[in-house]
Structure 1
Amino acid sequence: MTLKQTSAETTTVERRTADAIERAEAERDRIEEKATAFEEFGERVREVSADAGQQGGGATASANGRLGQSAGSTLAVGTATGTASASAAESVREAFTETVLPYADAGTLSEAMADELSAELAAALSPAAGGFAPGLKAQLVSRIEARRKEVGLLADAIGAERDRIREVADELDAITEWLADADETPLLQLGFEELRERHDRLASFRETCDRLADERQSAVRGTQNDGLTGIRESELLDHLYGEFEADYPVLADLAELDAALADCQRAVRSHLCARV
């Protein structure tokens, strides 16, 4: 909120809180899309065969046990097994690229997989690892499901933040609209009782600002937790408003509005004292 004093009695208001609401709304939509991307990624991983390595080992052993099996045939079976396993890992990397990667914060595919899944899983799925090792699929599916839940929690937390600041915005709107209407009447045209009533109304508005600021500060110190992972509100606000000029746009609005209300109170008190 940017407050500009245009005269001794008139104040115009430009709000940051509206920008914060718009940012939270857009980011919630993006994070919900990311949760959907993880769901799709998980479905595609479940369709990838994880039996190539195990089946290949069995086929090789069987081939070695047969009479007349040539060394060249055994090598061919092993090569086919490795190719199938490598193809499975490539399918997983391709699925990640087409689903989750567009929503990842990291740059390259390997960096994004390490950030979104784990460094261990990213290494196990890399071309250098040589294939889709037995047991890897189960670990990967488990991690994908955990990430889907974590991302869903973040989307819910952002939605809750959006709803909270909408409530603050409604109260700020009520105050600033009253100020705009009150500014239409110069203080010189008000009688003593009208001035005292205006002073009391301004005091009430300042109490509202104090209450909203206390509630906001308590929220900033809070943590949202669903038993899976916790999201500290301060980290969430940094995620949302890190590029804003003010780190805490709602608190900045409340502080500037309270300062404007205090200026108005002083002006009214000056007129009250002059009438005594």
Structure 2
Amino acid sequence: MDPQYARLVKAAALSATVLASILLIIKIFAWWHTGSVSLLAALVDSLVDLAASLTNLFVVRYSLQPADEEHTFGHGKAESLAALAQSMFISGSALFLFLTGFQHLASPEPLQGLGVGIWVTLIALFSTLILVTFQRWVVRKTHSQAIRADMLHYQSDVMMNGAILIALALSWYGFHRADALFALGIGVYILYSALRMGYEAVQALLDRALPDAERQEIIDIVMSWPGVIGAHDLRTRQSGPTRFIQLHLEMEDMLPLMQAHILAEQVERALLHRFPGADVLIHQDPCSVVPKERHAHWEL
């Protein structure tokens, strides 16, 4: 496991947990002071954030453990499970917002202490923006699915806090139903984010192949290597930070076994140079045993 990967992923997960804890306390005070259903929505979302981030923190620590006798491919899929759990948490909070929003839409009430609510929402907005910026940088460096799911989660929080600001401003000018309407809109967006996150997690658990662009890079590297006549049966997947790459390499029939081994190792090193930390498995085939229809056959 890359030490930098472990350090960055842990830092991102811990940062999210700390921020969610602080914002939860602040929003409890703001909701108690104003009675705003939009702020109640934000409070519930922060509670879900905290539960999800704590889950993420523990699961990320588990996923970083090295492979063992019982888990020979490592523990990377724990990240996908964390993302799936987060999608369930978020879906629950969205349903709560729908119920509360419809209730307050039917019987709107004037809000109190709007100034406090606006200041708290501004604090939440800017602090969450900072967290999302940091998480995006970590995802760019690590491609961690758990942190990507957390980032999508907090991106929805940025949208939500912006909507709450508008709702509180409209309520200030007497449009009391704005609070409930924006709460419903926030619920729709959060539910959409949860479904998208859950879909991505399930696809990872089902061993979806690497993106087309990455598979094309693998093909280009293999086919450009001197001594390689062709290749076929490319299989790829990703578990946590680790990419798994398997393929059959086609070589000259009379190539000595040692030279075939050296050639396969050279191709493997080239792939590892492009995809550090990948698990590469190459099978060597003499050209004559490969049917013509499978020669240099790639499925993207």
Shorter-chain TM-score range: 0.3 to 0.5
- Greater share of strand residues, 1 or 2? 2
- Kindly name which structure, 1 or 2, has the bigger radius of gyration based on alpha carbons: 1
Q: TM-score, normalised by structure 1?
A: 0.36
- Greater share of helix residues, 1 or 2? 1
